[in-house]
Structure 1
Amino acid sequence: MTLPTHAEIVVIGGGIIGCSTAYHLARDHKADVVLLEQGRITSGSTWHAAGLVGQLRSSASITRVLKYSVELYKGLEAETGLATGWKMTGCLRLATNADRWIEFKRLATTAKSFGMDMQLLSPDEVKRMWPLMETGDLVGASWLPTDGQASPSDITQSLAKGARMHGAKLHEGVRVTGFAMRDGRITAVKTDKGDIACDKVVNCAGQWARQVGAMAGIDVPLQPVKHQYIITEKIDGLANDAPTIRDPDRRTYFKEEVGGLVMGGYEPNPQAWETGLAGGDVPNDWEFRLFDDDYDHFEQHMSEAIARVPALANVGVKQMINGSESFTPDGNFILGSAPECSNMFVGAGFNAFGIASGGGAGWVLAQWVVDGEAPLDLWVVDIRRFSEMHRDRQWVRDRTLEAYGKHYTVGFPHEEYESGRPRIVSPLYQRLKAHNAVFGSKLGWERPNWFAPQGMEAKDVYSMGRQNWFGPVGDEHRHVREAVGIFDQSSFAKYELSGSDALKALDWICANAIDKPVGRLTYTQLLNTRGGIEADLTVARLADEKFYIVTGTGFRTHDLSWIKDHIATDARVDVKDVTEAFGTLSLMGPKARKVLEAVTDVDVSNAAFPFGHVREIAIAGHTVRALRVTYVGELGWELHVPIGATGEVFDALMAAGKPHGIRPVGYRALESLRLEKGYRAWGSDITPNDTPLEAGLGWAVKLKKNTDFLGRRALETMNGAVPKKRFAGFTVDDPDIVLVGRETILRDGQPVGYLTSGGYGYTVGQNIGYGYVRNDGGVSDDFLTSGNYELVVAMDKVPAGLHLEPLYDPTGEKVKS
């Protein structure tokens, strides 16, 4: 087949992700698609994948993606005539200790929240299902009957045939050598067989995705890791429909294959593939190749596997597979539009569950390519979750190996990564360490989560119940409610947008009205075409043609890219990321004004400096942008300080605040304070799946103004109608209950949704959770208030109170329900 000279979309890579993406582009969108594979279809890491297919993840959208994979694999053979090897065997996950069992109970709750029937089994029930297994050490197991296994090569070949059937053109033996670029966009793909002019490129090059991206200046932070498994000879008594097994406490997995077992695992001391090439590049000719067997490294899995399945001790090993798999620094795969080049999309880094993800990932990625925006809330896998620091190969390697090593460890709430730290510190880092700060990390920034009191070690101790910081965080929380605290929020992402078209550009992007006088702040969402919330931020008008935008630390790349992508190409607008130019000190609490008055000559009374305003004030001889805004429900200011002056301004505030009991406060107290006030958190409470009307944020949308904005048309179709879901708050009195999110919401005994976030409110003395109540017939006020509510927490039902207003009012009083 001759290589075409032009295509609408070029997909690079013929593994399961590339073939699935080409299939869905051709089938669903009738797109003109060309797929290029440098070797043969499946020849990267797809062909040697183990082929386990699990569906449950902590994200509802990603679970939906994986569930779609299963549905696709079930029917693909009927469409293409090629078998996929799909078997719905179900999956057993084994628990041998109390923490793991609580984790499984929470997972089973999450599964039911997402519409999946995960069951919890006793050791005896497990033994009956899998007679060859040693179950004496089990507490129990989870059982998801719709999980299964498949043949990676067969699925991929079936997807490839399906793509061809729908008009896609697949070319093997074609190597991409570079890209022709113009104005930051790809205009053609260069190959060793000729160039292909194109409109869009989808980088599904697997372990080569990083170096393919680099040809266009795009960073795809991957690390190839050696992953081993064995295939045994036939085992007497092993059923051919035996469930797959995940045995995380022994770090191993099993699946039946031709009467024997596939067995592998995730060791705590993984081996990165040091390729020996510049930058760690993967050799171009690494096709259908494996590493030498490494039984010494694999022995740790073998001994654990024999303890679980004693029959393994007396059976031969037919083959060992030691292949490279692409892993990422946070264990989540990578999808979406690259921030450096808006017409290259990426689907890579599947952390050894590419087979489970392949069908669904291709489905959503194809939609993303066609529409230019994600069809679901895919934030946890969005390539724009990364930042400039992810270009550091050593950092990516170290963090990725840590993530690999945690693959089967207990997932404790609030657990932090340890490698590659500290990476970015604010000027207050040493000062806060002197106050016994316990730091967490967000997009490389070290941020104080809490402060250990004298005599207590400044260290997190993880558990499934109340963790060691619960008491100290309560003290910090109460201090902000009663006196004054200071938060180091220097990690906030900050941008300046200026130019004669700045107001016009922001008016289109922002859902709220930002055409306010100089000196005013606007809290606003940025919406997608479906009316879903793509960002949640603050815009301060510093001058007629200059705006200052503040958003969350982790959203730095995403939000900046979204803004840039939605400014007209001919607009006279300059957008700059100024994150490192300013430190941010949030001064919060009823005594905040007294502290601020003592360090500045500017009138900071309520009349002179009302809420929702921005002023430049002088503190310690430095010009500070003071934003009168709060995320804790108390009087307060965000003080944006020239980064080099942050220490001096902090010292001045601490000295002036001493008579008022000022103290530094961490992010865990910030979280409990915002929960009491009912403030939404983007990425959990509000996402691209949720509209402001559903989230109770309709007041922040300019629908009454005759101004068009991105997402307006979608909201107009919903405005006035009774929504099918609505955001609501819930409280639980039992102090021993721990809410972490994704607990099922029951109304009159029936599931109607799940919590999007959860925690504890120290002022109100209750557990607090938020989530969406759903009803196909509409969620009216009467529907909400007429029901009796419970939450399912780790599979136990607990009574819950419903709250449609903040639990804490501005005067510090508990709002009566």
Structure 2
Amino acid sequence: MSFPTQARAVIVGGGIIGCSTAYHLAKLGWEVVLLERHRLTSGSTWHAAGLVGQLRTSANITQLLGESVKVYRSLEAETGLATGWKMNGGLRLACNEERWIEVKRQATTARSFGLEMHLLTPAEARKLWPLMDVHDVIGAAYLPTDGQANPSDITQSLARGARMAGAKIFENVEVTGFEIEKGRVVAVLTDKGRIACEVAVNCAGQWARELGQLAGVNVPLVSVEHQYMVTERIEGVSSDLPTLRDPDRLTYYKEEVGGLVMGGYEPNPIPWARKGFPKNFEFQLLDSNFDHFTPIMELAMGRVPALQTAGVKQLINGPESFTPDGNFILGEAPELRGFFVGAGFNAFGIASGGGAGKVLAEWIAGGEPPYDLWPVDIRRFGRNHQDVEWVRERTLQAYARHYTIAYPSEEFTTGRPLRRSPLYATLKAQGAVFGEKLGWERPNWFAAAGEVAEDQYTYKRPSWFTAVAREHKAIREAVGLIDQTSFAKFMLVGRDAEAALSWICANDVAKKPGSLTYTQMLNKRGGIEADLTVARLSETEFYIVTGTGFATHDADWIRRNIPEGKDAHLVDVTSANAVFSLMGPKARMVLEKLTSDDVSNAGFPFGQCRKLSVAGAPVLALRVTYVGELGWELHVPVEFGAALYEALMAVGQEFGIANVGYRAIETLRLEKGYRAWGGDIGPDYTPLEAGLGWAVKFRKTMPFLGREALEAQKRNGVKKLLATFTVDDPSVILLGRETIYRNGERVGWLASGGFGHTLGLPIGLGYVRNPAGVDEDFVLSGTYELEVAGERVHANVHLAPLHDAKMERIKA
């Protein structure tokens, strides 16, 4: 086969992800070339353990993993090559009360997502896995559709399937660079020649970061040593033995040729290739590190006594790629059009491979992901992820946390503090307990005198509950000040800025300077790609404010959708301005003390922006709220930030002003039913489904991205509708993903959950689904229950904001 000079898509990397992407993309009719520097599977695929689990905290990532199972079940019959796939089920143990709550909540999540999962007693678990000692086990969960595969075999089978569909695969080809024109990849350069292409796909595994650098693309992953042991045959190990995860002992197990594979995630992982990769590293392992593995081995022998006498074939030490948040990386790079990434699989590449390759192929072919993949989207990363040493430090903590209890609201501690507002030291001295997002330190809550200023995590009432209630009350009844400097902020400038934003935004931004518009940005299916605020400063300038974590994503979405030929340019000004949100019924009283400008309701109405002089500082004030009270976002040049804060706090004392953190924002917005992108709304949800149709410019005839899909949905009706749920029992803890039952039938799950301190009730937001259609009458006519950690509780449903009476105060 002669070496090609062109292809529609060139995939780099012959591991399971590369071969799966080639398989699925070729089946979609694309001309595909796959290049492997050495031989197929020679990187980390060949030494993977091969467990295939499906349940994740995201419904869509669970769906993706389910797609892997679908592919693996039929692949051998299709290609004639064995895959080693068997659906022998998977067990997960719980050995303490908090872990048991976590497992019960995982079972509820599985039910929410339509995945079969059973809760078992220790005795029932032991019947499925007779070799284990269950003296310390409280309970277990069993997923019958989990399984295992042979990594090399399944990859070779995918490669054959790709060839059968027309893909061409070339081994022993090294990629040396990429040719780029006008911000788009146009060719892949190799030691065998140039291949012109529309799309390049980086599936290079732990080499993906280095390969990305050749194209100016950042892929935040690093290599970590990962060990597992392979035993000789063990009496009682049957071929249908389920896979087993024992997270409290940091270990996992699967059957292999009558013996066991046993590995784990140690709390002190060892990074690999810190100074670069050795040349020609193919089908190679690292030296076995028995000293490092001994603690894992001791934990395992306590669970499986037979390991004490079992013969050991090999202790495999193979480096794998891991990411800073433990999720893999998919999607088109924001830095370069036509350059896609599928990498960073955190030692569950076999579980993800079939599904990840499928959705990546569909993303490439369709121009957008087939469904919301935000948890794994490459655009979730930011400026802090550019530094490999920062990435490595955070990634090692993510690895060490792989089997620890995933507590609600748990924060990473490494690589901090990094990005700080001008108030960081001041707020810390006042008892601030910080969280981190995209490298930014953000105050989560404030400890009063005598309170311990640190998070103490639990599945029960958290340590910050009382403090958040105090801050919540300050906003509702007096006034609070929130440091939201971390907001992502952009300027869209140019003579066509209005025309460009009018196309991208669902709401009407073509208003006079001084106007403020809350709007969504939609995809062609009408799904919500961004949820943000647009302030018009002049005929040619718009100031755009969005969430901290969406900086890369939203900037990329705006830039890629500015119509060709329009004079409109997006500039990131995040670091230029600090942001203080002054919120509460007494917010105006505080502001009036510090400015001679008119901030009355008549002089500064809701939904407007003004430039003010406040305590000597030049402030862009936005009259907006995300907490359901009168208030302003005060955007001020960073060098004025400290002085403005001091002045606000000083004059605010007589009005009961308080520092407020992000966890109170969450409780406040739930009471008002304000949506959060990435949870309640996202690319799979339209404004009509989310109850945001009022924010769509249907009355204007101007076209906008997603309009046709919304108009069709308006005619035909929706099949899901966002509702608010409350539980009368204040002791019930809602976290999100609790199953919604209507008249005894499962109809969805909570997208978010928390506690409303004004109402004194648990609150959740979730979509009520019905294939035959949903309207307000359907939602309100049902009797509802929520499944919380395996137990059903009665719930009340609402479509209006719970605290609606306060709307008059917000606008007054």
TM-score class normalised by the smaller sequence: over 0.9
Q: State how many pairs are aligned.
A: 809
Question: Is 1:388 paired with 2:388?
Answer: no
In structure 2, the gaps of 5 or more residues are none
Per-residue CA distance 1:68-102 (angstroms, 9 max, x = gap): 10011000011111111101110110111000000
Per-residue CA distance 1:697-723 (angstroms, 9 max, x = gap): 111111221111111121121113231
2:339 is aligned with what amino acid?
M
Alpha-carbon distance between aligned partners in 2 of 1:757 and 1:667, rounded to the nearest angstrom: 15
- Say if 1:284 and 1:810 are closer, same or farther in 2 by CA, change over 3 A: farther
Contact 1:387–1:557 (CA under 8 A) maintained in structure 2: yes
2:114 maps to which residue?
115
1:359 maps to which residue?
354
CA displacement at 1:781 relative to structure 2: 2.1
SS at match of 2:759: coil
2:21 maps to which residue?
21
Question: Is 1:46 paired with 2:45?
Answer: yes
Contact 1:487–1:585 (CA under 8 A) maintained in structure 2: yes
1:215 maps to which residue?
214
Alpha-carbon distance between aligned partners in 1 of 2:564 and 2:510, rounded to the nearest angstrom: 21
SS at match of 1:7: coil
* RMSD over aligned Cα atoms: 1.0
Q: How does 1:149-298 map to 2 (within 5 A)?
A: 149-276=148-275, 281-298=276-293
Task: Give the alignment partner of residue 579 of structure 1, picking from 574, 583, 605.
Answer: 574
Contact 1:633–1:810 (CA under 8 A) maintained in structure 2: no
2:738 is aligned with what amino acid?
E
Alpha-carbon distance between aligned partners in 2 of 1:236 and 1:500, rounded to the nearest angstrom: 77
1:601 maps to which residue?
596
SS at match of 1:754: strand
Question: Is 1:83 paired with 2:78?
Answer: no
2:100 is aligned with what amino acid?
W
Contact 1:521–1:540 (CA under 8 A) maintained in structure 2: yes
Alpha-carbon distance between aligned partners in 2 of 1:723 and 1:444, rounded to the nearest angstrom: 38
Alpha-carbon distance between aligned partners in 2 of 1:574 and 1:782, rounded to the nearest angstrom: 45
Alpha-carbon distance between aligned partners in 2 of 1:18 and 1:304, rounded to the nearest angstrom: 36
Alpha-carbon distance between aligned partners in 2 of 1:140 and 1:597, rounded to the nearest angstrom: 60
- Say if 1:669 and 1:642 are closer, same or farther in 2 by CA, change over 3 A: same
Task: Give the alignment partner of residue 474 of structure 1, picking from 469, 476, 485.
Answer: 469
Contact 1:207–1:282 (CA under 8 A) maintained in structure 2: no
CA displacement at 1:570 relative to structure 2: 2.0
In structure 1, the gaps of 5 or more residues are none
CA displacement at 1:275 relative to structure 2: 4.5
Greater shift, 804-813 or 29-38, is seen at: 804-813
Alpha-carbon distance between aligned partners in 2 of 1:102 and 1:392, rounded to the nearest angstrom: 37
CA displacement at 1:284 relative to structure 2: 4.3
CA displacement at 1:812 relative to structure 2: 7.7
Per-residue CA distance 1:265-298 (angstroms, 9 max, x = gap): 000000000343xxxx323411101001110001
Per-residue CA distance 1:112-166 (angstroms, 9 max, x = gap): 0000111110011112111111011100111001000000111100110000001
Percent identity between the aligned chains? 63
Greater shift, 554-563 or 711-720, is seen at: 711-720
CA displacement at 1:784 relative to structure 2: 1.1
1:546 is aligned with what amino acid?
E
Alpha-carbon distance between aligned partners in 2 of 1:674 and 1:658, rounded to the nearest angstrom: 25
Question: Is 1:781 paired with 2:776?
Answer: yes
Question: Is 1:734 paired with 2:733?
Answer: no
Contact 2:383–2:438 (CA under 8 A) maintained in structure 1: no
Alpha-carbon distance between aligned partners in 1 of 2:238 and 2:369, rounded to the nearest angstrom: 42
Q: Which runs of 4+ in 1 moved over 4 A?
A: none
Task: Give the alignment partner of residue 591 of structure 1, picking from 580, 586, 593.
Answer: 586
Alpha-carbon distance between aligned partners in 1 of 2:165 and 2:186, rounded to the nearest angstrom: 25
Question: Is 1:644 paired with 2:639?
Answer: yes
Task: Give the alignment partner of residue 430 of structure 1, picking from 421, 425, 429.
Answer: 425
SS at match of 1:777: strand
1:135 is aligned with what amino acid?
V
SS at match of 2:198: strand
2:765 is aligned with what amino acid?
Y
Alpha-carbon distance between aligned partners in 2 of 1:603 and 1:89, rounded to the nearest angstrom: 70
- Say if 1:450 and 1:738 are closer, same or farther in 2 by CA, change over 3 A: same
Contact 1:724–1:778 (CA under 8 A) maintained in structure 2: yes
Alpha-carbon distance between aligned partners in 1 of 2:272 and 2:281, rounded to the nearest angstrom: 12
- Say if 1:414 and 1:813 are closer, same or farther in 2 by CA, change over 3 A: farther
SS at match of 2:427: helix
Alpha-carbon distance between aligned partners in 2 of 1:116 and 1:220, rounded to the nearest angstrom: 32
CA displacement at 1:202 relative to structure 2: 0.6
SS at match of 2:697: coil
Contact 2:628–2:806 (CA under 8 A) maintained in structure 1: no
2:106 is aligned with what amino acid?
L
SS at match of 1:610: coil
Greater shift, 436-445 or 566-575, is seen at: 566-575
Per-residue CA distance 1:435-458 (angstroms, 9 max, x = gap): 100100011000000001110110
1:20 is aligned with what amino acid?
S
1:748 maps to which residue?
743
2:5 maps to which residue?
5
SS at match of 1:416: coil
2:408 maps to which residue?
413
Contact 1:634–1:810 (CA under 8 A) maintained in structure 2: no
Greater shift, 796-805 or 125-134, is seen at: 125-134
1:504 maps to which residue?
499
Question: Is 1:665 paired with 2:660?
Answer: yes
Per-residue CA distance 1:179-223 (angstroms, 9 max, x = gap): 111122211111011110111101001011001000011000111
Q: How does 1:511-526 map to 2 (within 5 A)?
A: 511-526=506-521
SS at match of 2:648: helix
Alpha-carbon distance between aligned partners in 1 of 2:682 and 2:48, rounded to the nearest angstrom: 33
Alpha-carbon distance between aligned partners in 2 of 1:712 and 1:44, rounded to the nearest angstrom: 46
Greater shift, 720-729 or 547-556, is seen at: 720-729
CA displacement at 1:810 relative to structure 2: 4.7
Question: Is 1:135 paired with 2:130?
Answer: no
- Say if 1:173 and 1:624 are closer, same or farther in 2 by CA, change over 3 A: same
Alpha-carbon distance between aligned partners in 2 of 1:283 and 1:370, rounded to the nearest angstrom: 35
1:790 is aligned with what amino acid?
E
Per-residue CA distance 1:337-363 (angstroms, 9 max, x = gap): 101102100000000000000011011
Alpha-carbon distance between aligned partners in 1 of 2:578 and 2:126, rounded to the nearest angstrom: 58
Greater shift, 261-270 or 77-86, is seen at: 77-86
Alpha-carbon distance between aligned partners in 1 of 2:680 and 2:357, rounded to the nearest angstrom: 27
